[in-house]
Amino acid sequence: MPDRHGPSPAIPVASADAACRALHEAAELNLEDPNRRGSLLEFGSAGQLVMTGDMHGHVANFDKLQRYCKLESNRGRFVILHELIHNGDGPENLDLSIDLLVRAAEWKAAFPDNVFFLQSNHELAQLRGQEITKGGRSVIQEFERGVAYRYGARTPQVLEGVRQYLASLPLAARTASGVFLAHSLPDPFQMEAFETGVLDREPTALDLAPGGSAYALVWGRFHRPEDVERFARRLNVEIFVIGHTPQENGYAIIGDRLIIVASDHSHGVFLPIDLSRRYTVEQLAANIRRFVSVE
């Protein structure tokens, strides 16, 4: 079994003021992003885009991602993050994924033209107060307990910063070469009903609620090759790259159109994409890198 214990109690922790500042700034940058059209991020044909999978507070893999990206000297490299929150790997099984969320927000503030985020089901659930239970525990309550552990009396202010950040997240990204990146895809039985127009606007409360297209996009599972093929034709997409479905070996290839990546354990991976070229699914999957390979 892969090791899912990413966070360390010894990592530097931002002050409450710094955390609030980073989360507010990241939210503003997300909403004002020049790459954003409605709820879709659009990338051109120059540079490299690094797609990650679910990270769930795995600070060790995030550290390696930062070392790989070297954004200080690689301004033509872009990175997409999603599903950063909810785990129980801290001391006494605390969920301290707030640490990763704040660090990612700080990274966005430092490199606003290079760091990007997507909405996910766990982050949407935290935003909406929709319960998810894992291992018999409420992940929303556990996340808020971890924030209280870190920030004490300033917890309400930090949680408000988290709320603003979560509400600012776009739904998906697309490259000029036809790679579509999202946290997931709708369930097969919801693909025909999916309203593609949700990508062209800011999602409404109805879009984000059960039955809405934004909700369907981040919660879907059980993707069969034939369903993905039809959905690709409908969206005029060559390849989808998503997370959401756990991958013990780090990734999976589904048919000719779908790659699923996971970044939340010791076998986790990330996917660099050359924006200047087109790929088959096998060619793109050949680019997959394991976090353990990063010094």
Establish if 11 belongs to a structural domain. no
Predicted pLDDT of residue 137: 83
CA distances from 73 to 26, 60, 62, 159, 170 (A): 21, 21, 18, 33, 26
For the beta carbon of residue 286, count every other beta carbon within 10 angstroms.
9
pTM: 0.94
Establish if 39 belongs to a structural domain. yes
Which letter does DSSP use for residue 199 in this model? Answer: G
Query: Are 49 and 175 spatial neighbours (Cβ–Cβ below 8 Å)?
Result: yes
Total domains in the fold of the chain? 1
Establish if 1 belongs to a structural domain. no
Which letter does DSSP use for residue 206 in this model? Answer: H
Query: From CA 159, how far away is CA 73, in angstroms rounded?
Result: 33
Nearest to 103, CA basis, from 150, 35, 137, 51: 150
Which helix (H) or strand (E) segment is 99 a member of? helix 98-110
Domain with residue 119: its CATH number is 3.60.21.10
Burial 191-213 (b: 16+ CB within 10 A, else e): beebeeebbeeebeeebbeeebb
Establish if 10 belongs to a structural domain. no
CA distances from 213 to 179, 220, 229, 260, 278 (A): 20, 11, 19, 20, 28
Host domain of residue 74: 16-293
- Laid out side by side, the sheet with 40-43 consists of 36-37, 40-43, 172-175, 179-182, 239-242, 258-261, 251-254
Predicted pLDDT of residue 249: 96
Predicted pLDDT of residue 91: 67
Predicted pLDDT of residue 4: 55
Establish if 33 belongs to a structural domain. yes
pLDDT, block means (10 residues), the chain with 295 residues: 50 86 98 97 98 97 98 97 88 89 98 98 96 84 96 97 98 98 97 96 96 98 96 97 97 98 97 98 98 96
Please count the residues of the chain.
295
Query: From CA 270, how far away is CA 247, in angstroms rounded?
Result: 12
Establish if 132 belongs to a structural domain. yes
